[in-house]
Chains A and B, each alone.
Chain A
Amino acid sequence: MSIAPELIVRLQKNDQEAQRLFWSSQWSYVFAICAHILGKGAAATDLAVDVLTAFMFDYVHGLAHPATAKAYLRLMAVRRSLQKRKEQRVFVELQNWETLVEEGARTPEDQALCRAAMPRLEGCLSRLSPNAQQVIRLSYTQGMGNNRIAELLGVSKQYIGKLIKKSLERLRRCMEEPIPGEGRKGEGS
């Protein structure tokens, strides 16, 4: 399935069927780019989700030439992957967590608790299947409902609901595992 100019025009009109077609045709490729640069894992899945959603819901509306979509998408995927790789190298992500945690936490104790839990959460996410990582990212980071995710991925909303429930349970169990001193996956030296 190529990114035909007609498909881009439909994306610009927020056509949901076009969004599903776009997602299913480009997911593997965008993920492959991210995984090639970042290594396979939750970081690559997250980034592929972010790139596709940003392109589909945001950048597509600013494209002057629909025929440039394909080139633009791959430039975007490479560019963001390189940015992410640099962030991983200099631990900027941890600093960002601190900022975000401070925004979302209620008390200083709460902030400390969340800050300490974030690296562990990243490691636990990496243990999930790529499908589960994708759905979790769409649900909690992109803020999509189960219906919307199901439409986008071309599956039933019941499947999405079960996958999220099962994934949360696995994450919860993983977070409670008594593995002191475990390193966070994906941190470079």
Chain B
Amino acid sequence: MSWSNNEQVKRKPKTAQGISAMSKDLYLGFKFAVKHFLSYFLAMLGILLLTIIMVIVVLLFVVVPLVLFVGVPAFIVWVTTFSVEVGTLEGTIFIAIILLLVLPILGPFFVAYGSLYGMSREIIESEVTSAESAFSWYRKRALSLAGGGMIHFLISLAPFLIAIYAIFATPIPIPTDETLRMILPVGFIWVILSNGMLSLTFPGIIDGLSAAGAAKRSVRLCCRSPGRVLGSWSVFATLIGVPIMTFLDDELFDWIQIVPDSFLEPYTLLIVLLILFIVLPAMSITFSRIYLILTAQDESVYDNDDDDSEDYTIKLEVDYDES
């Protein structure tokens, strides 16, 4: 026999909700990124070096056996012919060849970026991290992080790849700059939206999920709390995207140039450094934090209050003998 406490007091959760939750996520992201600036700076320099070495190793794995097999002069001729041939390829083969060349080169960069999330996870869970821990995540989650990056990459580019395929495969006219100017904003929205929905993929991989599992969970968590995830993502997309688009001279991107070129140009170096060493770490910290909170709510292991008191019921146990 049991009953719940009749005098339950409706306590207002002390945890931030809605917009205030998002602003708290962002504030803490930047706060910790600035606080751990040196760790991130050293880690990123080290990882950048390692990544360049990895890219060279990946290329060597392809180039060395070829050179040994066919000889240097024949290899040079082959590369020249290949680049001309690729230009003439159409449809599926063209896309496949491009992906085959681009993805192995991008792989190490995805791993490098993902290992930042490992550092951020340590910060958000224990407030401590060190530059060398990035290498530990780099080593332990390399394949999954590369996979996660490729999922981001392929999903973001999927409509563009389909468009390229359609242009080559069907007799539709190649779009003019005028048409592209109209199509591009749609593609731009897709890139922002799809990457926003996948923004919790890397924290998921760091949490031990596979690349595909983490991507699925990211989409599910985003659908459950779209405001918090996409809201934070929009802030970072603006902070990173606006300066980059401003620096692009192509007329195609004129429509997005919110800030005049002349205003940002003197600060180019500063902006690049800020994006690399503050904004990117802040983004990884913010999304690691959002991931930990949303997954806890998802698994019903989240304590709603900041203090130690918990919801409780008073249960009266009565043992009796049936006679």
Chains A and B bind each other: no
Task: List A residues at the B interface (Cβ < 8 Å).
Answer: none
Task: List B residues at the A interface (Cβ < 8 Å).
Answer: none
